[in-house]
Structure 1
Amino acid sequence: MKYGIYFAYWEKEWNADQKQYIAKVKELGFDILEISCAMLKNISMQELTSLKKEAEDQGIILTAGYGPNAQENLGSDNPEIVRNAISFYTDILKKLEFLGIHTLGGGIYSYWPVDYSKPIHKAEDWERSVANVRTVGRIAQDCGVDYCLEVLNRFEGYLINTCAECKAFVEQVDVPSVKIMLDTFHMNIEEDNMTEAILLAGSRLGHFHVGENNRRVPGKGGFPWYEIGMALRAIGYQGNIVMEPFVRSGGTVGSDIKIWRDLSCGAAMEQLDQDARNSVAFLRNVFSGPNSDYNSVLL
């Protein structure tokens, strides 16, 4: 398994300069930096090339995540919005192909965060989304990108809330590049048992996000990380483990994620870096197998 972190751990804006974090995550002991597709919308070829070169020079793998807005909703009943969404994903996937990014994950079958002041028509939106994800999934496959559908909690999404729902959705789409994405934060809210959900995903699991129940880095909350690692090993998962902690309030990131207090406890950037360094060492140890010492890395 390869271990990574989402850039927004340090940032308050989705479209921030993310290239600056490539060298940082390498120095902190990560294999992967996950970027947001928000930065790719209006990026120049020069900037794309520079981003790609920096990742190659540092030996860092890039993955991508995204929460599409309402105008990029593949489950919409508005044909114009669907056309815009397919055009958007086509452009993004070609950019990911150029960058050598092989994983895109998020609520990329609907939109995020959901506006619950509007009526919800889950069954109808499901059918439209399946058909349109099938179209985009084939484009992703041609670009060498795994199109990973993130299971979201009920407060952030309504279409896919459990691994069982995601597995059924992926089976209906029936395109090899379209896979399941699980996130421990969301699983803790919706799944009866997190390890059983991982086992259910099995070979269809394409991407895995980790973060504590309190949205801090793994090791600073209450999750059963050893058991989670056992489940991942049981299904033979060899993919990416990307932590997605959110600890800073403010900006569009803090607003969208609903971080209304400083979860970092006033930490300076140096402390955030040290927490990330300790956390990835902790995960490598705990997920490595039965010979690992669960308590050998203290956060």
Structure 2
Amino acid sequence: MKLGTQNQAFFPENIQEKFAYVKEMGFEGFEIDGKLLVENLEEVKAAIEKTGLPVTTACGGYDGWIGDFIEERRLNGLEEIKAILEALQAVGGQGIVVPAAWGMFTYRLPPMVSPRSQAGDFKAVSESLIYLDKIAGETGTKVYLEPLNRYQDHMINLLSDAQKYIEMNNLENVEIIADFYHMNIEEDSIPEALRTY
């Protein structure tokens, strides 16, 4: 098992110093903000070379969810995720972590009626994943689909929800990432969900 970390607010701002700091803490991989990677690609490459600390994945750094209610924002997000996947390819990263959305809507708070149907949700997320599956194939990367808990997203809460998108859309470069925090809220049995999906 290897341990990695996301970027944190208390990490140094300078990219070389940031990578050295993460390495010094004992981490073996860095999950970088996608925007930071794209906008500072050459600096990131130099930091990887100097410290030997790999960028394993990216998370965040784009301005539209794959299940965004606003179509223009969804499409903009897809183009930004494409650029992140291309940058990950350039640094040897494995892929990007994406939820359907975060904090956009929940059935747990008023108005409790989604502005889009469940069929509409499935269509939007499927179109996004089909597009990103192709980009991931071209870049040799993966899209790691992350189910979130019901209080942060209404579309994909269980590992089985994520598996449904992968199977029904015949996705080859989309895989499930299982987050224990969200699973602790949503899954009846974390071990069983991991074994099954």
Q: TM-score range by the shorter chain?
A: 0.7 to 0.9
Match of 2:101 in 1: 111
CA positional deviation for 1:77: 5.4
User: Shift in Å at residue 80 of structure 1?
Assistant: 2.8
The Cα shift of 1:58 comes to 1.5
Deviations 1:71-112 (A, max 9, x none): x133345543343232222222222222221121131xx332
- Normalised to the residue count of structure 2, the TM-score between the two structures is 0.84
Residues matched between the structures, number: 189
Q: Amino acid of the residue matched to residue 49 of structure 1?
A: E
Paired with 2:43 and 2:129, the residues of 1 have a C-alpha distance of 30
CA 1:152 to 1:19, structure 2 compared with 1: closer, same or farther past 3 Å? farther
1:180, distance to aligned residue in structure 2 (A)? 0.2
Residue of structure 2 equivalent to 1:90: 82
Q: Which amino acid in structure 2 is aligned with residue 184 of structure 1? A: F
Q: Tell me, what secondary structure is at the counterpart of 1:182?
A: coil
Structural mapping, 1:1-299, within 5 Å: 1-8=1-8, 10=10, 19-40=16-37, 43=39, 47-62=40-55, 63-66=57-60, 69=63, 72-76=64-68, 78-107=70-99, 110-116=100-106, 119-120=113-114, 121-201=117-197
Q: What do you get for the CA RMSD once the two structures are aligned?
A: 2.3
User: Would the alpha carbon gap of residues 86 and 56 (structure 1) be closer, same or farther in structure 2, given more than 3 Å must change?
Assistant: same
**Residue identity (%):** 28
Any unmatched runs of 5+ in structure 2?
none
- Give 1:51 deviation, angstroms: 0.9
List alignment gaps of at least 5 residues for structure 1: 202-299
Q: Relative contact order: is structure 1 or structure 2 higher (C-alpha 8 Å, sep ≥ 6)?
A: 1
Distance in 2 separating the partners of 1:54 and 1:115: 38
Q: Could you report, residue by residue, the CA deviation over 1:171-200 in whole angstroms, capped at 9, with x for unpaired residues?
A: 123222100011111111101111111111
Identify if the C-alpha distance between structure 1 residues 146 and 128 changes in structure 2 by more than 3 Å, giving closer, same or farther: same
Alpha-carbon distance, 1:19 to partner? 4.7
1:252 corresponding residue in structure 2: none
Give the Cα–Cα distance (whole angstroms) in 1 for the partners of residues 53 and 78 of structure 2: 29
Q: 1:80 to 1:192 in 2, by over 3 A?
A: same
SS in 2 for 1:179: strand
Change (3 A) 1:124 1:10: same
Which deviations, in whole Å up to 9, do the C-alpha atoms of 1:15-54 show, x marking residues without a partner? Answer: x55553321222222210111114246x1xxx31121121
- Which one-letter code corresponds to 1:66 in the other structure? G
- Check conservation: 1:40, 1:95, Cα contact below 8 A: yes
Render the CA deviation track for 1:214-264: whole Å, top value 9, x for unaligned: xxxxxxxxxxxxxxxxxxxxxxxxxxxxxxxxxxxxxxxxxxxxxxxxxxx
1:6 is matched by which residue type in structure 2?
A: Q
Which of 1 and 2 has greater Rg?
A: 1
- Distance apart, 1:168 and its partner CA: 1.1
For 1:9 and 1:194, the matched residues in 2 are separated by 30
Residue 158 of structure 1 aligns to which amino acid in structure 2? H
8 Å contact 2:28–2:53 — kept in the other structure?
Answer: yes
User: CA separation in 2, counterparts of 1:75 and 1:9?
Assistant: 27
